[in-house]
Structure 1
């Protein structure tokens, strides 16, 4: 039976950073990575942004080079079906068992799916393979229906429209971005899309995929209307893959419960990335799905597995970019909260999201660079003085 000193389940950003941290912090033992993906670890944000808009950034820049740089043994298309904690082994589809000394769960998330028939032209967008399929299908003038107004849906809609597609975007909010931004910024955000020719179908939810043989693929909406095109891209977010941890008897709540060192309820098992519910030093116990968290928590878990004592004390930021407009945020973006908007000029804005005691719990930075630490400080210090807040970031 194959066995590794350090075994990682999941082949995403967490695995890359964890393997690198293990080596950088003196772990000389064997590292194994079991990935259900068909590709070696790669940079996921590029799939909806850089690959579409930067001609200097090609597909060869997407892989992270994890195995080559760390000496880890990587197996792709390897689906782990069970963890035997007592024997310190994992079981794969087909029954093969692999042993471990320490184990890291970095299983990531699964895209939410829409009911309906399977078809190559309908893509539940998440992976590098999905990008390649979409790129292959796209031709100048393609009619693309994109479902979802969150990160994936909005970024894909923008990228496709910049690559010659006629895009229809279906989303449930009355204004694109209204579930995160104040009305002034949501209107500005939506205008970016209409200015680039994207047809918007606001206030609508897609209920089912439709396929008509070699004719259109499309979706049926909640009002009964049908929207069709040459390609359908589903970007409805993702759900953390928690079943493996649950079946192993690990403590699971909103995510896999870990301590400040990212150790689970089993002292030989750590977890990182999308799947963990962890004690954030500023935000409190939380679960976050963005790439900054995957990178930093993966590295922290690798350090901990190598014997480091320092806790994971990084508060992640998240970001998006469409049509050259970039926004970043820390904490909670909930427009139902009281918001303090500070507009520095016609392009640059900061929005503070305040709890019922006037304390900031989230900060949105619109077209403002280099202010993440300031945003973290504002939340950590619980600044309630409005004038002080207005001058904190700019």
Structure 2
């Protein structure tokens, strides 16, 4: 049995940032990172953004270099159990490691349908998925992208910009309709159509089949789509099984306090899998990169002795064709929206308010300043008059 001061389960961006955070407070403590991925930590957003749109950004810029921290990195390995009394973890390779502090950064798993992943059926999540899709993405190849959320829309745009024939399938009546007010959603969908993407809205995939080098999908309206490949971006489920099996509290993620600590003082959780008390927005689980970076660095510092809680409220962003947006809080059309456009559909801010007129989310469309202002507005928790929002950012 090996012994480490710090064991990190999960080999993603949180693990990389945590190792670097540890090193800011502890230069000599031993660190073990155990990841189920075939690749070491890498910058995940590039998989659906820059790798497709920036010819000068190549795959050798994707790895994050966690080895610079002196951490021992074990890949293609899954931790199967935790013994909290003995403070050990055991892997599927039969190895047991003792920890001083344990970080669960197990991430999330893509939602799947009854269509097995293959070289032509991709549930997009990993660097390996990118490599597989990139090999398929040749000019004239027909690829169906299923899902109108962040990953689905980014991948559909990326493929279209690489001369792939793309069909985008979304359950929204208008692409982005669950996030954007009606007029903006219409502009968003039109952007796909203007770039040659065939858009199928208001439908879901009921079933699919692969035969040789072809994939056939049956939609909820009874129609079918035949293609060379299909990419799914249907959201993810947090990987909480390990925490549950070890008796830790789980509620839409692993429950942690403001120090990202579970009920066990030696066990922490961070990233996609952590349900934490956001200082502004309240308890929640966030899947975006800004949270992985900031929470990962903070939890590493805390594990190594810092007494500063995690008080940062992360933002999220997306780039689709020539448009981009950043947002803080909840972005859902279940909330009432107030729009403040400098140029309608081109540049402006959308505010999301609850039934009590309390601000719950801020979307900045092609506006790249104002995040701190948005956070302060959300932090106040006061009722907002619609007119007072105009020009606030």
* TM-score class, shorter: over 0.9
Is the 2:179–2:333 contact (alpha carbons within 8 Å) kept by the matching residues of 1? yes
Matches of 1:227 and 1:187, distance apart in 2: 24
Query: Secondary structure of 1:169's partner?
Result: strand
**1:1-394 matched pairs, under 5 angstroms:** 1-67=1-67, 69-214=68-213, 216-346=214-344, 347-383=346-382, 384-393=384-393
Matches of 2:339 and 2:258, distance apart in 1: 33
Is the 2:52–2:162 contact (alpha carbons within 8 Å) kept by the matching residues of 1? yes
Matches of 1:362 and 1:277, distance apart in 2: 19
* Pairwise CA distance, 1:108: 0.4
Is the 2:13–2:296 contact (alpha carbons within 8 Å) kept by the matching residues of 1? yes
Query: Secondary structure of 2:308's partner?
Result: coil
Is the 1:327–1:368 contact (alpha carbons within 8 Å) kept by the matching residues of 2? yes
* Pairwise CA distance, 1:118: 4.2
Matches of 2:137 and 2:187, distance apart in 1: 28
Structure 2 spans left out of the alignment, 5+ residues: none
Is the 1:90–1:99 contact (alpha carbons within 8 Å) kept by the matching residues of 2? yes
Is the 1:378–1:392 contact (alpha carbons within 8 Å) kept by the matching residues of 2? no
Matches of 2:40 and 2:19, distance apart in 1: 13
Query: Secondary structure of 1:297's partner?
Result: helix
Change (3 A) 1:138 1:272: same
Is the 1:273–1:293 contact (alpha carbons within 8 Å) kept by the matching residues of 2? yes
Matches of 1:164 and 1:178, distance apart in 2: 26
* Pairwise CA distance, 1:2: 1.3
For normalisation by structure 1, the TM-score amounts to: 0.97
Is the 1:23–1:70 contact (alpha carbons within 8 Å) kept by the matching residues of 2? yes
Matches of 2:315 and 2:117, distance apart in 1: 35
Change (3 A) 1:118 1:362: closer
* Pairwise CA distance, 1:24: 1.2
Instruction: State the Cα RMSD in Å.
Output: 1.1
Query: Secondary structure of 2:319's partner?
Result: strand
* Pairwise CA distance, 1:212: 1.8
1:292-345 Cα shifts (integer Å, max 9, x gaps): 111111111001001101110010111111002110111111212211110112
* Pairwise CA distance, 1:6: 0.5
Matches of 1:326 and 1:277, distance apart in 2: 27
1:332-362 Cα shifts (integer Å, max 9, x gaps): 1121221111011242111111111111000
Is the 1:51–1:59 contact (alpha carbons within 8 Å) kept by the matching residues of 2? yes
* Pairwise CA distance, 1:218: 2.7
1:161-189 Cα shifts (integer Å, max 9, x gaps): 00010100111001000000000110111
* Pairwise CA distance, 1:28: 1.9
1:117-152 Cα shifts (integer Å, max 9, x gaps): 443111111000000011112211110111111111
Query: Secondary structure of 1:263's partner?
Result: coil
Query: Secondary structure of 2:300's partner?
Result: helix
For normalisation by structure 2, the TM-score amounts to: 0.98
Matches of 1:28 and 1:117, distance apart in 2: 45
Matches of 2:193 and 2:221, distance apart in 1: 23
Is the 2:77–2:93 contact (alpha carbons within 8 Å) kept by the matching residues of 1? no
Is the 2:117–2:123 contact (alpha carbons within 8 Å) kept by the matching residues of 1? no
Matches of 2:135 and 2:222, distance apart in 1: 31
Matches of 1:21 and 1:117, distance apart in 2: 38
1:265-302 Cα shifts (integer Å, max 9, x gaps): 11001110011111111001111111111111111100
Count of residue correspondences: 391
* Pairwise CA distance, 1:27: 4.4
List structure 1 segments (4+ residues) > 3 angstroms apart after TM superposition: none
Matches of 1:361 and 1:27, distance apart in 2: 41
Structure 1 spans left out of the alignment, 5+ residues: none
